[in-house]
Structure 1
């Protein structure tokens, strides 16, 4: 039976070459900060792994997280890896509906008790009857599904931190999954939407190591959220020199200067966007000319406006990096001002050199 095949057998039946598979393992190991020596072990473990049962719950969300994953750049080895979990319940992708769909969820929980994963996208409304599925409230379905789960993976900022549904004034009483479930291992993969490779990378780590990856203080995988976007941004040198775009169509914007003054939240945002990028590594928001909106951080919708510069308090709120960034900006701006004044003096003294 297909359900009894190992992942390696499924990949071979799909025509995935050993070379392509090892390339995926190498990339994933690198992103997970594992040494090169771990690649053969990862390949062997993944090849021998059997598909874990996955129950994917969608609550208050826009389906963007599912769209990002399914439309990443298929067919890829990442997509194939994800296909080879046993996706037993997913509102958007499942063929079954109504009573049959709920029966599939209940069967998956019963047959895989203690071993299945629950993936959630969307915040959980606490206001009664605000959102129901098959007559079951989101809150009740989450509690039922999490009861015998091995772990919970929150896909997207809404399930991880409440996201847009929890933004003020929060009429539905939306909360994050972690505000409801407190007795299960939880990993947050925030983003609006998150990078597809972050989702598949966490699942690959779980299949390989039998445990969730190392997490930061916000429950995010260190491998994907351990670095500040600002530090990996190719516009960082302009920031350090105090060269900022003032509008989206001025000379600075055309020259690719820093977008900090246009509301870029990169200095306070941790994600892999700047080096993993989107669409097979083609680009990411800052590269396409729009500042980072900080979507992988808690309460980013209430951060004071997408096009408002990050206030000083946000930088200095327990962040040495933020304070250093402010100092760098001030130093850069001062250096740029001195350079302009020096150039003006030279032009005044000797017009031929201007």
Structure 2
């Protein structure tokens, strides 16, 4: 694959566009969960205006009264075009895609296709908490394969977890988070090929949550799992949701590798009724026409990672932070502060800043917090100030 690198878009940094007063007018989860004296830096919502192509597409649809049921393959075609330009991936076949309501509901449906009740699902902890919640709710068993000390996939640990998961001939799946949430790790082509080889050896099916794929740093290369040797039997979930801040406009795509097309063909027809027609319009516009906006965002996120590292080094040097190569989330190791397993609770009570507790991320999460970087430099500075004040 030949990747086209990020470019300087000429668009203004969307992370600089909104004031705190304007943000507090929002009615979404990020801004309504806590009282107004709390600075919210937790859930994955970005403090940005919508990309203009998305606004235009939605406004036009509303003016037409185009608010019915979704139809066609426009979303898949937009994603295929984006993937070809962004990642050099020409193999995203529209005929091997299906629309699903969102990535996690798509994950559930893919796991239903390749596992049964009680079967194990392997995850790399610490990992996005809904991996545990959704898997357990659908009557599957979570098996952890913790990341290594370098916050990358530990292949020996994964091998052992696959072995345990398939003991007695059980069916098993690996729910891969790529790029990884919360660490921001971008898995390399070699790592993913090694994962595929292990999965093939043990008979484990791979389902990849690739929702953060567009959100890579300037010097990082995202590799779609379905493109690596052995990835042909995988299933992937992708969406424009995270990269363009469209969580409230539900839509995602399930994508099958060539060897898993028959699995995807068994997806119940009614699953495709769940996505929002307006969501599909918005996501398609983002992927087709919103790349200049995305490039401006990515440059701003690179700046924010550097800013956070500098602020922590100055004001909270005991916190360990390894800037990730993707996502807009920062995984902070606060164990040296002596705040116990849940430092997020201390930062909230004493500093009035809301971060995501590391505990629900599973093994390796205690003593950590996740901080949302997708905001203005001023609010990042204020957030770190409040965290430091919580220790006084």
TM-score normalised according to structure 2 size: 0.24
Q: What TM-score results when the alignment is normalised by the length of structure 1? A: 0.26
In our comparison, the structure showing a higher alpha carbon Rg is 1
Q: Larger relative contact order (C-alpha < 8 A, sep ≥ 6)?
A: 2
